[in-house]
Amino acid sequence: MAYPSDRKYTKQHEWIQTSGTTATVGITDHAQEELGDIVFVELPKVGAEVTAGKTFGSVESVKAVSDLYAPASGSVTEVNGDLATSPENVNKDPHGSWMMKIRLQNPGELDALLSSADYEKFVAEEGGH
Amino acid sequence: MTPMEAAAAVRKTALNAVHRQMGAKMVDFNGWDMPVEYPAAIGCGIINEHMAVRTGVGIFDVSHMGDIRLAGPQALAAVQHISMNDAARLAVGQAQYSALLYPQATFVDDVIVHRLGEDEYLLVINAGTREKDFAWVRDNTRQFDCAVENLSDDFTQIAIQGPKGVDVLQKLTDANLSAVKFYWVTRGSVCGLNNILIARTGYTAEDGFEIYVPSDETIGARVWNEILSAGKEFGIVPCGLGARNTLRLEGKLPLYGHEISDTINVWEAGLDRFCKMEKPEFIGRAALEKGKAEGVKRTLVGLEMTERGIARDSYKVLNVAGREIGYVTSGSPSPFLKKNIALAYVPPEFAPVGTAVKVEIRGQGVGAQVVPTPFYKRPKKSS
């Protein structure tokens, strides 16, 4: 799967797409593939503060649990409630099944993140498969 | 370890290239490069693979399992000495679940003992304990007139599991499979190969077969692909170790290093019915007798999460007040039951069904309760 160029990526395999001062966050196709069948997504509450590089929730597959890391700091304005009942949507459409929306505290933080091309290269080098 | 050393240390089955061609996600399992699951693009993934075995059929490469053959006039006496079940009860062609014990009644390994001939037995053992098991069996049977051979590298072992497994395999063999009962073996041609060992055994808590074909990449790939083709009409899928683990967990089948180990004894593991104390002698018997009189300090129970959360291997089990009382040996979402289940060691006073406990999940005590096991039991055939 190609990584959309309309967003940025982290080395922990999250994506973040900005629209003005808000941003939408999810996990990448590579992340969902590594996890396998996702059965549970734990997300923060609306209003919670998240910090760049710190965990904001977790995602569990049949075989493993994995932390979710915030690509940028901000306050949570919305979470994707559909994932409570249909966590498998993350497997089916990782780049469409967003997890949370945040109001960015410092949009400049995004400059440090990877472009789609750089992320693709990073995955190829890290994974080796 | 440098990557070069890691590459040299990892072992591969004869089907390794086939798994990679199919796009399987590979993991290191006890030093073996094995498929954990196959891609969603071909209808796989742990949940789909699991459900295929429960409702249809799936195949597994289990060539990493080891095999020890004991043959000779005193083969039965040797098997009796090193295993806890009663091999004297086996007719030729019959198999039984058993275990090799240390003198202190903890586990060297669990095994399936197959009686292949009048004086010939085959022990099928775990991948991670192959060398240890063989050395143990060899060293502890020297006093018997019986040859002990390590055949672990001789077979590509393929498991065809699920209610439709019999239909798939019957298309590929001249053996009459309906005459082979669960935990019995036969020999027959399979995919044109003669005299192949066919056992109605498995590790999925489902009906199924395990076949032992010569270990060879070309032969293995051909047999694997012929089974997949023959199974197409039944919706067969290749299955990896991920589904193998969730299937065996639902059936409460022990996994070495988890429910059983060199520090856990037979009574704690609840494997009493496979341990025949009426046998006058076997390694571990004296300690078992002593242990039985003393009673156990912990016992294996099934847990079901009553609150949101998934118990994982080695998580702590707490009482409702939050005091640590035990630990999870295996935990996972159950794809068939659609509940979060676990096996755990707890003191006997917490063992009654319905007892409320907690599992510590990432620092939080999450509600669970003791439930009857096995979590899943396959439906009895009506015909």
| % chain A with pLDDT above 70 | 97
For residue B361, the chain A residue with the least C-alpha distance is A65
Task: Answer whether residue B271 is part of any domain.
Answer: no
Q: Are residues B45 and B158 in the same domain?
A: yes
Task: Answer whether residue B255 is part of any domain.
Answer: no
Backbone angles phi, psi at B228, to 5 degrees: -60, -40
Chain B residues touching residue A34 (CB < 8 angstroms): 25
Q: Inter-chain contact A36–B312, Cβ cutoff 8 Å?
A: no
Any idea which residue has 């590459």 for tokens?
A: B7
Task: Answer whether residue B382 is part of any domain.
Answer: no
Residue A93's pLDDT is what?
97
Number of domains in chain A: 1
For residue A39, the chain B residue with the least C-alpha distance is B333
Mean pLDDT, chain B, as a whole number? 96
B277: helix, coil or strand? coil
Segment-wise mean pLDDT, segments of 10 residues, chain A, 129 residues: 92 96 97 95 97 97 95 98 96 97 96 96 78
CATH of the domain at A73: 2.40.50.100
Q: Are residues B46 and B190 in the same domain?
A: yes
Task: Answer whether residue A118 is part of any domain.
Answer: no
Task: Answer whether residue A87 is part of any domain.
Answer: yes
Q: Which letter does DSSP use for residue B94 in this model?
A: B
Does B362 lie at the interface with A, CB-CB under 8 angstroms? yes
Is it the case that residue B72 has pLDDT exceeding 70? Answer: yes
What span, in angstroms and rounded, lies between the C-alpha atoms of B158 and B61?
A: 5
Q: Inter-chain contact A36–B310, Cβ cutoff 8 Å?
A: no
Q: Kindly indicate the confidence band of residue B21, based on its pLDDT and cuts at 50, 70 and 90.
A: very high
Q: Are residues B25 and B41 in the same domain?
A: yes
Dump pLDDT digits (tens) for B367-377: 999 999 999 99
Would residue B105 be called left, alpha or beta, if left means φ above 0 and alpha means ψ between -120 and 50 degrees?
left
CA distance B351 to chain A (A): 26
Q: Are residues B59 and B79 in the same domain?
A: no
Residue A127's pLDDT is what?
64
Is it the case that residue B1 has pLDDT exceeding 50? Answer: no
What span, in angstroms and rounded, lies between the C-alpha atoms of B314 and B350?
A: 18
Q: Are residues B228 and B203 in the same domain?
A: yes
Nearest to B242 among A40, A63, A65 (CB): A63
Whole-model pTM?
0.94
Tell me the residues of A at the B interface, defined by beta carbons under 8 Å apart: 33-34, 36-37, 39-40, 58, 60-63, 65, 91, 129
Q: Inter-chain contact A36–B25, Cβ cutoff 8 Å?
A: yes
What span, in angstroms and rounded, lies between the C-alpha atoms of A101 and A108?
A: 17
Q: How many residues does chain B have?
A: 383
What span, in angstroms and rounded, lies between the C-alpha atoms of B107 and B97?
A: 14
CA distance A36 to chain B (A): 7
Q: Are residues B79 and B54 in the same domain?
A: no
Residue A129's pLDDT is what?
45
Q: Helix and strand tally (H, E) in chain A?
A: 4, 9
Range of A68's domain?
A: 8-105
Contact in structure between B243 and B57 (CB atoms under 8 Å)? no
Nearest to A62 among B26, B335, B362 (CB): B335
Any idea which residue has 């309309």 for tokens?
A: A6
Residue B3's pLDDT is what?
46
Dump pLDDT digits (tens) for A27-50: 999 999 999 999 999 999 999 999
Q: Inter-chain contact B40–A91, Cβ cutoff 8 Å?
A: yes
- Pairing of β A14-19 and β B66-71: unpaired
Burial class (CB in 10 A: 0-12, 13-18, 19+), A2: exposed
Is it the case that residue B266 has pLDDT exceeding 70? Answer: yes
Contacts of B261 (CB under 8 A, 6+ apart): B106, B107
Chain A residues touching residue B37 (CB < 8 angstroms): 36
Task: Answer whether residue B348 is part of any domain.
Answer: yes
Task: Answer whether residue B146 is part of any domain.
Answer: no
For residue A41, the chain B residue with the least C-alpha distance is B309
Nearest to B45 among A37, A40, A65 (CB): A37
Chain B residues touching residue A37 (CB < 8 angstroms): 45-47, 335
Dump pLDDT digits (tens) for B323-369: 999 999 999 999 999 999 999 999 999 999 999 999 999 999 999 99
The edge-to-edge listing of strands for the beta sheet with B95-101 is B95-101, B107-117, B120-125, B66-71, B147-150
Task: Answer whether residue B273 is part of any domain.
Answer: no
CATH of the domain at B49: 3.30.1360.120
Is it the case that residue B216 has pLDDT exceeding 90? Answer: yes
Contacts of B199 (CB under 8 A, 6+ apart): B95, B112, B114, B184, B185, B209, B210, B211, B212
Segment B62-82 shows an average pLDDT of 98
Q: Are residues B21 and B53 in the same domain?
A: yes
Contact in structure between B80 and B86 (CB atoms under 8 Å)? yes
Is it the case that residue B221 has pLDDT exceeding 90? Answer: yes
Q: Inter-chain contact A36–B242, Cβ cutoff 8 Å?
A: yes
Task: Answer whether residue A128 is part of any domain.
Answer: no
Range of B58's domain?
A: 3-65+154-250
Does B335 lie at the interface with A, CB-CB under 8 angstroms? yes
Would residue A58 be called left, alpha or beta, if left means φ above 0 and alpha means ψ between -120 and 50 degrees?
beta
Residue type at position A5? S
What span, in angstroms and rounded, lies between the C-alpha atoms of B240 and B228?
A: 14
Contact in structure between B303 and B359 (CB atoms under 8 Å)? yes
Nearest to B242 among A40, A58, A62 (CB): A62
Backbone angles phi, psi at B375, to 5 degrees: -65, -35
Does B27 lie at the interface with A, CB-CB under 8 angstroms? no
Task: Answer whether residue B336 is part of any domain.
Answer: yes
Residue B9's pLDDT is what?
74
Q: Are residues B129 and B92 in the same domain?
A: yes
Chain B residues touching residue A58 (CB < 8 angstroms): 362
Dump pLDDT digits (tens) for B102-157: 999 999 999 999 999 999 999 999 999 999 999 999 999 999 999 999 999 999 99
Number of domains in chain B: 3
Any idea which residue has 């979470």 for tokens?
A: A79
Beta bridge partners of B303: B342, B370
Backbone angles phi, psi at B229, to 5 degrees: -65, -45
What span, in angstroms and rounded, lies between the C-alpha atoms of B217 and B89?
A: 37
Q: Are residues B189 and B202 in the same domain?
A: yes
What span, in angstroms and rounded, lies between the C-alpha atoms of B121 and B100?
A: 14
CATH of the domain at B302: 2.40.30.110
Cβ-based contacts under 8 A for chains A and B = 39
